[in-house]
């Protein structure tokens, strides 16, 4: 970290107006603390995802530019908020109790509210003042009570309830005003015991129904596909399909008639998981000789699920969009060629991290008449990329653009996403903005209004040790407003924007 950067003036010319700020004194104090830390704890991605120390409300007073008056609602972000548990360091990128931030935007102002999600497991550890549960990548010292499964992956409003999602267990319901947890939620008893619930449910923009899925935690795991009808709180099972093992499925896609799943050749060793002592990260088994499996499920449940293979295999955490057109079903996913991303996640807290794998927006096309894979094409340039942001109002229809984060630092700090890209799918080229060397970005969220569309994302500035909210134009990525939050908050994994009624 260069000391002179703390003394320089920050230029705001990119916002289209002249202004300057001097870096606060507290940033110098932070510099003094971090220079004595290990190499890992001086890394930008470690600083941007480390433990949170703030809970409560705050009024945001430092706003550069003008927040569009049409943006009225709440931006929710969630992710791991603790990287140690009473002295036990949590070493995996996925570890840590869920920490939620709510940014209430109205009248061109921002109010912040943040809190840890009060799950029973967190309450038990806080009362005992020691680690009691095994995290995804960190074992509990001594006897473990089992896995924690914090709901730290996503937060969505589903069936009128604000839910924090873990994808390994039931959702946690939250009070939208206080953010207090009100208990686990099983959709009025319609989600069975020992069945997980996805962190990426999909809202059908045409019908208003929500489509989701879970995997049974059993010797013969099955994929369970659900529909939550608009206005209902009870899930209806659409389909069930044997997976032949516990294959984690992080995301899915939605078209007019189908739900689409891309299953990587990565599974959890069930015997080790049943014992509940080894971290799940140690029980993952990847077979690079096996293909992807594409599972097609009719949304109306009128036919049995169908499997199609696509070689070579790889990993695909997140998807962009799927649609049906001229007798074909197309879907775009972010595909990595192997499982090396997991080495990156596992070594997040190590002094040396393995490089980020290249990844491509990859288009799969299926002939609906023959139900065979017709083509598989890479449509981006292989720069390490993830966290796609799409217009949820157009899910299941062709889109012209996707927004994604890229890690231009690549091998040095692969989890410090410092570039926002807007991919033009017709031209197959990207408009990119790259932030400074001491900043990184969180997942972009697409927020449309009657006339425009905006991209909202959090960011972290290490020189100020402060999180900020950016609002950008959809295509040009021009920075319209930046709200400095006055404190550090973890960037988190996923979130949502809930418009104000």
314-328 tens-digit pLDDT: 999 999 999 999 999
Q: How deeply is 245 buried, as exposed, middle or buried, from its count of CB atoms within 10 A (0-12, 13-18, 19+)?
A: middle
Question: Which pLDDT belongs to residue 439?
Answer: 96
Share of the chain above pLDDT 70, in %: 92
Nearest to 428 by CA among 392, 378, 474, 471: 378
Give CA 143 to chain center in angstroms. Answer: 31
> What is the mean pLDDT of the segment spanning 39-49?
90
pLDDT tens, position by position, 358-413: 999 999 999 999 999 999 999 999 999 999 999 999 999 999 999 999 997 656 78
Other C-beta atoms lying within 10 Å of the C-beta of residue 50 = 18
Within 13 A of 15's CA, how many CA atoms are on the CB side?
18
Give kind and range of the element (H or E) at residue 343. helix 341-346
Whether 164 shows a pLDDT value over 60: the answer reads yes
Whole-angstrom CA distances from 428 to 83, 361, 366, 425, 443 are: 39, 10, 21, 5, 21
Whole-angstrom CA distances from 408 to 39, 347, 348, 378 are: 20, 19, 17, 19
Q: Is residue 318 within 8 Å of residue 387, measured between CB atoms?
A: yes
Helical ranges in 1-75 per DSSP H: 25-34, 44-49
Judged by average pLDDT, the poorest of 26-30, 108-112, 258-262, 366-370 is: 26-30
pLDDT tens, position by position, 56-73: 999 999 999 999 999 999
- Phi, psi (deg, nearest 5) at residue 23: -70, 135
Tokens 């980020």 -> residue: 356
> What is the mean pLDDT of the segment spanning 327-338?
97
Q: pLDDT band for 452, please (50, 70, 90 cuts).
A: confident
Whether 227 shows a pLDDT value over 90: the answer reads yes
Query: How far is residue 188's CA from residue 204's CA, in Å, rounded to a whole number?
Result: 21
Identify the three-state secondary structure at position 160. coil
Query: How far is residue 439's CA from residue 90's CA, in Å, rounded to a whole number?
Result: 24
> What is the mean pLDDT of the segment spanning 138-154?
93
Nearest to 122 by CA among 166, 74, 186, 57: 166
Angle at 409 between CA 408 and CA 414, to 5 degrees: 100
pTM of the predicted model over 0.85 = yes
What value does the mean pLDDT of the chain take?
90
Whether 7 shows a pLDDT value over 60: the answer reads no
Q: What are the tokens at 495?
A: 């979130």
Within 13 A of 205's CA, how many CA atoms are on the CB side?
12
Tokens 């005003």 -> residue: 177
Whole-angstrom CA distances from 435 to 296, 409, 415, 470, 477 are: 39, 11, 14, 11, 12
Decide the pairing of beta strands 172-174 and 181-184.
Answer: antiparallel
Identify the three-state secondary structure at position 313. coil
Instruction: DSSP letter for 52, please.
Output: -
Give CA 60 to chain center in angstroms. Answer: 25
Q: Is residue 195 within 8 Å of residue 215, measured between CB atoms?
A: yes
Identify the three-state secondary structure at position 45. helix
pLDDT tens, position by position, 264-294: 999 999 888 877 779 999 999 999 999 999 9
> What is the mean pLDDT of the segment spanning 122-142?
95
Instruction: DSSP letter for 24, please.
Output: P
């Amino acid at each position: 970290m260069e000391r002179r950067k703390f003394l320089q003036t920050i230029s705001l010319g990119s916002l289209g107006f002249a202004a300057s700020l001097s870096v606060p004194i507290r940033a110098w104090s932070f510099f003094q603390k971090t220079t004595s830390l290990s190499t890992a704890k001086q890394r930008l991605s470690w600083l941007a995802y480390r433990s949170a120390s703030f809970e409560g409300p705050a009024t945001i007073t430092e706003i550069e530019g003008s927040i569009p008056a049409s943006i009225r609602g709440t931006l929710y972000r969630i992710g791991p908020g603790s990287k140690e548990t009473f002295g036990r360091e949590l070493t995996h990128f996925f570890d840590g109790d869920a920490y939620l931030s709510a940014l209430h935007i109205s009248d061109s102002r921002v109010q912040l509210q943040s809190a840890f999600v009060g799950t029973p497991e967190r309450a038990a550890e806080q009362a005992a003042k020691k680690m009691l549960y095994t995290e995804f990548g960190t074992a509990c010292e001594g006897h473990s009570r089992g896995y924690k499964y914090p709901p730290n992956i996503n937060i969505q409003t589903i069936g009128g309830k604000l839910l924090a999602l873990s994808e390994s267990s039931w959702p946690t319901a939250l009070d939208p005003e206080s953010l207090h947890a009100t208990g686990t939620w099983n959709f009025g008893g319609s989600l069975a015991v020992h069945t997980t619930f996805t962190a990426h449910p999909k809202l059908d923009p045409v019908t208003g129904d929500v489509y989701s899925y879970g995997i049974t935690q059993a010797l013969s795991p099955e994929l369970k596909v659900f529909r939550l009808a608009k206005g209902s709180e009870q899930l209806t099972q659409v389909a069930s399909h044997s997976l032949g093992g516990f294959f984690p499925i992080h995301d899915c896609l939605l078209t007019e008639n189908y739900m689409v799943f891309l299953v990587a050749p990565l599974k959890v060793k069930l015997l080790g998981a049943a014992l509940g002592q080894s971290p799940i990260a140690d029980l993952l088994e990847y077979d690079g000789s096996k293909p992807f499996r594409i599972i097609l499920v009719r949304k109306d449940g009128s036919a049995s699920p169908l499997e199609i293979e696509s070689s070579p295999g790889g990993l695909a955490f997140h998807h962009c969009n799927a649609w049906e057109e001229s007798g074909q079903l197309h879907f775009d996913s972010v595909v990595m060629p192997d499982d090396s991303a997991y080495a990156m996640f596992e070594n997040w807290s190590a002094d040396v991290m393995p490089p980020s794998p290249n990844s491509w927006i990859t288009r799969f096309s299926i002939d609906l008449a023959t139900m065979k894979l017709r083509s598989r094409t890479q449509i981006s340039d292989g720069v390490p990329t993830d966290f796609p942001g799409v217009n949820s109002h157009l899910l299941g229809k062709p889109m012209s653009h996707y927004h994604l984060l890229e890690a231009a630092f690549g091998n040095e700090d692969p989890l410090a996403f410092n570039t926002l890209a807007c991919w033009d799918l017709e031209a197959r080229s990207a408009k990119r903005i790259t932030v400074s060397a001491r900043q990184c970005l969180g997942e972009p969220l697409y927020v449309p209004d009657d006339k425009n569309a905006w991209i909202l994302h959090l960011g972290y500035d290490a020189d100020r040790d402060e999180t900020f909210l950016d609002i950008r134009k959809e295509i040009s990525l021009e920075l319209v407003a930046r709200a400095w939050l006055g404190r550090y908050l973890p960037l988190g994994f996923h979130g949502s924007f809930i418009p104000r009624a």
